[in-house]
Each structure stands twice: as C-alpha cells, then as structure tokens.
Structure 1
Amino acid sequence: MSPAPCLRSLFSLVRVRWLGVAVAAGIAAVAALLAAWPPVARAGLSAMTLAIGLGICAGNAQPALATGRAAEGVDFARGALLRAGVVLYGFRISFQDIGAVGWPGLLISVAVVAMVFGAAVFLGTRWLGLDRETSMLIGAGSAICGAAAVMATQPVIRSEERKVSIAVATVVVFGTLAMVAYPLAYPHLGLSEHAFGLFAGSTVHEVAQVVAVGEAVGGAAARAAVVEKMLRVMLLAPFLVLLSARAASAGPGRNGPLWRRVRVPWFAFAFIGASALHSLRVVPPPLVAALVWLGTLVLATAMAAMGLRTSLGSLRMAGLQPLKLAGLLFLLLTVGGYGVNRVVLWWLA
C-alpha cells in the first residue's frame, strides 16, 4: 500500500476525533494544574480524580461537549487512550523497588489485594444487592491503586461509564478519610516507621494519598509506603489477566480450550514491559520523568472523557449501596490489613 492512502486514512481519523480528544485533554490539563496547586496537593487529590469530577460537571452542564462531532473523539479517549495511559503508568515502578521491601512486602500486598477484592464481590453482590460489575470496580479501586485500577478494570469487564464514576467517587471519599485517620492512629499501632509505611502502602487507596500519609509520619515511613504501594500497583497486571480468565471460564459459549477464549488485556503485559524497561535503566531518567508526566495526562484525559459520558441522574440512581460497600472495604483494609501486616512481619521476623 502506497504512503498516500495511509496518510489520507490518518488525516481522516485525526479530523474525526480531534475535537472530542481536545475537549477531554483540555479538562485533563485543568485537572493537572489544580492537582499541582499546594492546597489541592495536600488534600491528596490526583489529576485523574479531579479530571473525572470536572468531566462530569462539564458533561452535565453542556451535554454537547460529548455528543455530535465530539462523540467519536471522546470514545477514543476513554478507550485507546485509557490503555495507553495504563502502559505509561508502568514507568513509575521498577523491579528494584520491589526488592526494597522484600518478601514481606510482596506477601502483604498479595494477601491484601486477594482479601479485599474477594470481599468486595461477595459483600456487594450477596449482601448489598449490587451488580457484579460495580462490586468489582469498587473492589479493584480499594484493593489495588484507586482510580487507575478502576480505569484499567473497566475494559476487561466491559462496564458502563457511570459505574466507573461511582467506584472512583468511593475511592476519593475513603482515601481522603485514610489521610486523616492513619497519622492520628500511628502512635497507637505499635509499629516502627518502616512497618507503618508497609501498612499504609498496602492499605491506602491512591498513590498521592499514600505519599501524604507517609510524609505525615516521617521519612522512613514515606519511603516504605511508596515502595509498598508501587508493589501493589504492579499486581494490577496479573490481576487483570486472572479477571479475564475468570470471565472467560464463567461466561456463555464455553466451547474450546480456555486459553482461546480469554480476552488477553495486552496493555497489562505492556505495563509490565514498561516497568522492565525502567528497571533495566536503559531509558534516561529525564525521559522516564517525561513519560510518567505524559502517562498522568493521558489517564486524566481518559478520566475526563468518562466523566463527560456520565450523567448525574445515573449516579443518583445508584443510591447509598456503593458507598456502604466502600465503607466496609475501608474497615477491612484498616483492621484486616493491620492484622495481615502484623502476622506476616511476625512470621518472617
């Protein structure tokens, strides 16, 4: 195929999608600026969290921003750009970071993620009457890494945008509560700074919230908390693969071998590849910093696009049940997570 038709196809795609992407990117840029503002930064609100909130406000005030000529670009932002943002998120993590917390940190993270996500699905569907998708999204956000985990889980389970918005909202509420409660509780927990950092990193929702909690206690706590949190983020890739395999085995049309039916989330493996590149130190540090910044902006753009597609009416229809589930998971994270940390550290002491 000659270059001319390829270029024409590329220009056609850009012409059709540029408006919607530009609207979502503009909202994301505003969110990034707000997230860097000291009062907002101290509150632990990330650009991704702010972007979905601003997107919801803009989309409900001016529905035309996500329809008509902008519709295809908005859909592109919440689809392809979401996956690209998850891949770039991998440059935040290195395998050396994982080695810094050792086997205790790995065991704690695996136990907390399995415990919280399993409880989310059970309590949400069996006790609170929530649908499975909402329960999974809230569970992923609580168990792994807040809004980023919710976003990454959405394309694997194919949930609606309003359910993503609901899950992100619950993460913000209880992650903010953790930022206040954890430093106040520290003197009464009987943990060293390092052990408290592992506890915070393995149980607080968002990366920004973990940083705020760790720095409120001390340098050793902050370092351990961030590394443990990054290890928890690394579990996102195997989590998505297992989730896809579970969906394939339980879904309709179970003919043929399981490996042929699994919808492999390629971006999860690309996420690991980005982490591996970062670990090998083959990418210059300035470029890594630029890729991390770009990844934040891309994920915020995808968040803004999802917000543009979410109506406040659909959020009101969800009621208090999602908030109740997130509250129960917050209690499980704090009390159960504390128990997991104490048992693992005692066992491997």
Structure 2
Amino acid sequence: MRAQLAAFSAGGIGDAVRAVSPGLIACAVVGAASAFLSDHYGGPVMLFALLLGMAMNFLSADGACRAGIEFAARQVLRVGIALLGLRITGAQVVALGWEPAALVVGGVAATIAVSVLAARVLGFDARFGLLTGGATAICGASAALALSAALSPHPLKERATLFTVIGVSALSTLAMVLYPVLTGWLGLSDAQAGLFLGATIHDVAQVVGAGYSISTPAGDAATLVKLMRVATLLPVIVLVALGSRAGAAQGERPPLLPGFALGFALLVAINSFGWIPSAAQVAGSELSRWCLLAAIAGIGMKTHLRELVTVGWRPVLLMLGETLFLAGLVLVYLRATS
C-alpha cells in the first residue's frame, strides 16, 4: 500500500490505476454476482460475496489481481463505511425518545462487555470478543468490517473478521425468520415487536425484512431503532481506536480518529441538517453498499476455506451466546416496561 501511495505522489497515477484495476474489477464482478443471487434467490448478500470471493482466492496470489484485491479490502472498505453516515440523521434518533435510546446504548455496551469477557473465558484474545460483540450489538457485517479496520494489526485479524462476517450474517438471517414468529407467540404489540426486532437483529436489511413482514408500524419502528444502533458505531469505533493506539508501540500507533470514522460523523452531521438531497442520499447509500460488497469479496479472496474449518466450535458458541444474550436483554426490558 505504501508503494501505491508513493506512485500517486510521484505522479504515476496512471501506473497506480493500472496496478489496482484488475483486482478491483474482479471484486466488482463478485459483488455484482452476489447482488444478483441475493435479489433473485434471497439470502444475505454479504454472505454470498464472502463465499464467492473465497471460491476465487487463487486471484490473491502473486499476480495481476493482488494489488487491487488488497486495495478493495482496505481502502474501498473505508469509503463504504464512511458513506454509511448517509443512512441516519439526528432527528431520527431524537424521534424515538430517550427510553429506546437508553435501551440501545445499554444493550450495545452490555453485549460488547459480555462478549469480551466470554471470549477470555473461552481462551480467545479480547479483541475477538470485541469484534464479534460489536458486530452482534451494532449492525452486523458492516460493524465487523468497521471495527476490524479500527483495531490494531494482528496476524489473525483478517481470519477473525471473515469468520465474524459469516457468523453474524447467518445468525441475522436465522433471526429474520424466527424472531417475527417469537413476537407473535409472546403477544407483543406492533410497537413492541418493532422495538424488539430493531434492537436485536444484526443487519439492517434483515431488520427491515422482519419488521415489515409483521406490519408497516412494526417495520417503521424496527428501522428507526436499528438506525439508532447504527449511530452507536461511531463512538464505539473511536473508543476502539483509542484503545488500539494506547496498546500499540510508539512507532506504529494508528490515528487518534480513523479517517473513515471522521467521514462517517461528518456525513451524519450534514445529513442531519438536511443539506444532502434525497437523490444524493440514495446514491450514496447505494455506493456504500457496493463498496462494502467489493471489500468483503476482496477479504474473501484473501482467505482459504481450510483456515475457517480449523476454528472449532468455540467461536460458534461465542456468537450464538452473544445473540441470545442481546435478545434476552431486550425481552426483559419489554416485560419490565409493559
């Protein structure tokens, strides 16, 4: 990556573009194929991008595509995360009132804290618990990618990120199917069901699908609560970046505030003032989606399936436990306030 930046600074923009183009095109093709499969056959698009990328991992070996795949997995990823800020405004958060806000903040904090402790008990590095807990508590695969980008370098970070994205996507899809049935079985109102779905299901798309499968009011409430969870991504990233900076050696400390987090905050602020036209919001959100798809395809291309097979049952148990903990926490809140 330093070599690529040096090429840009030296005026070799054309050379740098040619160096990354084959890999970027490969990632874009995998992303497009994943979107097609998701649109026509259902299923989480991020999971499709991961699996198709892993099937093409031979492209990440030394060759024409390697530089572009690295670029997609790092730089394109950060652009996609920053553009997530176009999804939310301060008014949306305020409209929900303080009680759902307190539930969201408390749920995110408690889930991450429990995840870190559980990871330690199961013999993992605390950063793995932070990664899986943040993905479960905030916004699924997008949060996993954002937190991974903010964490300090580690030899197993990409493997942990890939496993987290696969696990959280699978659990989110399962929750989308089962949770609406659970809300009916428990006799929750539309407002309560929307709050439960928005506060517990991992990915935004699955929240929307589950909420509107019950009713329009439930879907609206679920979407707003979910967007509030997405809004917690910024403070969590800042705290993670501060922790990574404090734990790193003097010469390798990451920036105090990652550039993608700053871009995320800036877009949320601008969007909150209504300065971004609706057409630009839609276009930016779609661009964010494609950037994240290309990035996760690149991460998949860099990973071999046999590396995931060796993880064992403990990571699966950790992520399942995090999901059940968050769902139980929200149900206790609903019972206490009903």
Normalising by the residue count of structure 2, what TM-score does the alignment of the two structures yield? 0.91
**Of the candidates 223, 234, 237, which is equivalent to residue 237 of structure 1?**
234
Residue 217 of structure 1 and its aligned partner are, at CA, apart by 1.4
Amino acid at match of 1:194: A
Deviations 1:279-323 (A, max 9, x none): 222222122111111110011000000000011111011111110
Residue 36 of structure 1 and its aligned partner are, at CA, apart by 2.1
- The answer to whether structure 1 residue 115 and structure 2 residue 110 are counterparts is yes
Match of 1:337 in 2: 330
Match of 1:75 in 2: 70
Q: C-alpha separation between the residues in 2 aligned to 1:101 and 1:342?
A: 19
Pick which of 165-174 and 140-149 moved more.
165-174
Amino acid at match of 1:51: A
Structure 2's unaligned 5+ residue stretches are 1-7
Q: C-alpha separation between the residues in 2 aligned to 1:90 and 1:51?
A: 22
SS of the residue corresponding to residue 163 of structure 2 reads helix
Q: C-alpha separation between the residues in 2 aligned to 1:116 and 1:272?
A: 23
Match of 1:297 in 2: 290
**Of the candidates 118, 128, 147, which is equivalent to residue 141 of structure 2?**
147
Match of 1:322 in 2: 315
Residue 252 of structure 1 and its aligned partner are, at CA, apart by 4.8
- The answer to whether structure 1 residue 204 and structure 2 residue 201 are counterparts is yes
Deviations 1:55-91 (A, max 9, x none): 11221xxx13553221111111111111100011111
Within 5 Å, give how 1:128-147 maps onto structure 2: 128-147=122-141
RMSD (CA atoms): 2.1
Residue 250 of structure 1 and its aligned partner are, at CA, apart by 4.2
Give the percent of matched residue pairs that are identical in Structure 1 and Structure 2: 31
Residue 8 of structure 1 and its aligned partner are, at CA, apart by 4.2
Q: C-alpha separation between the residues in 2 aligned to 1:261 and 1:299?
A: 22
Q: Given that residues 119 and 129 in structure 2 are in contact (C-alpha distance below 8 angstroms), is that contact kept between their aligned partners in structure 1?
A: yes
Q: Given that residues 23 and 65 in structure 1 are in contact (C-alpha distance below 8 angstroms), is that contact kept between their aligned partners in structure 2?
A: no
Residue 134 of structure 1 and its aligned partner are, at CA, apart by 2.5
Q: How many residues align?
A: 327
Deviations 1:19-69 (A, max 9, x none): 1111111111111222222x31xx4x1x3332112111221xxx1355322
Residue 247 of structure 1 and its aligned partner are, at CA, apart by 2.7
Q: C-alpha separation between the residues in 2 aligned to 1:292 and 1:185?
A: 31
Q: C-alpha separation between the residues in 1 aligned to 2:183 and 2:13?
A: 55
**Of the candidates 137, 149, 166, which is equivalent to residue 169 of structure 1?**
166
Normalising by the residue count of structure 1, what TM-score does the alignment of the two structures yield? 0.88
SS of the residue corresponding to residue 183 of structure 2 reads helix
Structure 1's unaligned 5+ residue stretches are 255-259
Match of 2:186 in 1: 189
